Amino acid sequence: MSELYIRVAEDESEEPMEIPSEDDGTVLLSSVAAQFPGACGLRYRNPESQCMRGVRLVEGVLHAPESDWGNLVYVVNYPKDNKRKMDEIDAASAVKIKRGFQKTSDLIVLGLPWKTTEQDLKDYFTTFGEVIMVQVKRDAKTGNSKGFGFVRFTEYETQTKVIAQRHMIDGRWCDCKLPNSKACPDEPMRSRKIFVGRCTEDMTTDELRQYFMQYGEVTDVFIPKPFRAFAFVTFADDQVAQALCGEDLIIKGVSVHISNAEPKHNNIHQLFPNFPGGSASLAAMFDRSQYQFPSSHV
DNA sequence: GTTGAGCGTT
């Protein structure tokens, strides 16, 4: 049978405190935390290796290292002890996120000669970088190539390079592109485009460009024709666009309201401008339907 | 047994 109490201290040099164990010899983390608020575990110095060892913790229950807890002094772990590790995790996820923006995707290879095989493709594309996958699309019955295929690279840099140029494969020029299925959601780019509401008819694209230039580089100004009292302004930097959202700005003496531009084609009235019965009935129909607009750049 | 802008049977 185990001891009734184990010795726990804030630090190896501190005075230990006795913490009650359970009947089965385990110690509840909650028992430790009752005396050491915020505790998230225990560790101890292994007498043989002189290294610190963590105490097994399963669902709030601390388990003795050996058959019993022995005469050791256990040291409390606090989340702050893991700060360095947390930083490492943060750094790792930051890298992951960064990689997320540069995730490779399958590329469609258009214009392949009928005779080109997957081995041919692999041999060719490997000259650019490591290849994960190649496909040649074939007719199910005849096995004849449909003249296109897919390729996936390990490195995003390779993908970029391959997309940028044409490819002479088995005597034909081929193109590698992002497939339609992947073209949109690749980069969940924060919107660089703002919606400028309450525009007046006398505002020209040039004037809007001139005005918004003060905030950052303007890459596009769009004013719907006929006049609809709003405009879109696109900046080179999404942070500029985001910073302006919610603002009321004075242009040519009138107050315009800045908000986020909705994704293009997300507006059903844009898709069906002359829907019979008017906008309301269309919107209602749409709400009841399961259809989701594909995501797209805004 | 053909074809030549496109978009991926499993």
The whole-number pLDDT of residue A212 equals 94
Question: Is strand B within 7 Å of residue A179 (CB)?
Answer: yes
Taking a C-beta distance cutoff of 8 angstroms, is the pair A47, A15 a contact?
no
The whole-number pLDDT of residue A293 equals 41
Protein-to-nucleotide distance from the CA of A147 to the C1' of B3, whole angstroms:
10
Protein-to-nucleotide distance from the CA of A137 to the C1' of B1, whole angstroms:
20
What is d(CA A56, CA A64) in angstroms, rounded to the nearest whole number? 7
Q: What is the dihedral of CA A231, A236, A242, A244, to 10 degrees?
A: -60
The whole-number pLDDT of residue A87 equals 55
Cβ contacts of A31 within 8 Å, gap of 6 or more: A19, A20, A21
Nearest to A215 by CA among A232, A196, A239: A239
Protein-to-nucleotide distance from the CA of A137 to the C1' of B8, whole angstroms:
8
Which one-letter DSSP state was computed for residue A11? S
The whole-number pLDDT of residue A67 equals 85
Closest nucleotide C1' to the C-alpha of A172: B4
Q: Report pTM.
A: 0.38
Question: Is strand B within 7 Å of residue A182 (CB)?
Answer: yes
Question: Is strand B within 7 Å of residue A110 (CB)?
Answer: yes
Question: Is strand B within 7 Å of residue A64 (CB)?
Answer: no
Protein-to-nucleotide distance from the CA of A100 to the C1' of B6, whole angstroms:
28
Question: Is strand B within 7 Å of residue A101 (CB)?
Answer: no
Closest nucleotide C1' to the C-alpha of A180: B7
Chain B nucleotides covered by protein, CB below 7 Å = 1-9
Walk along chain A (298 residues) in steps of 10 and give the mean pLDDT of each run.
Answer: 80 91 93 89 91 91 90 86 51 45 83 95 95 91 93 91 94 92 53 90 94 90 92 88 83 86 61 51 46 41
Protein-to-nucleotide distance from the CA of A141 to the C1' of B8, whole angstroms:
17
Local structure of A80: helix, strand or coil: helix
Measure CA to C1' and name the residue nearest B9. Answer: A140
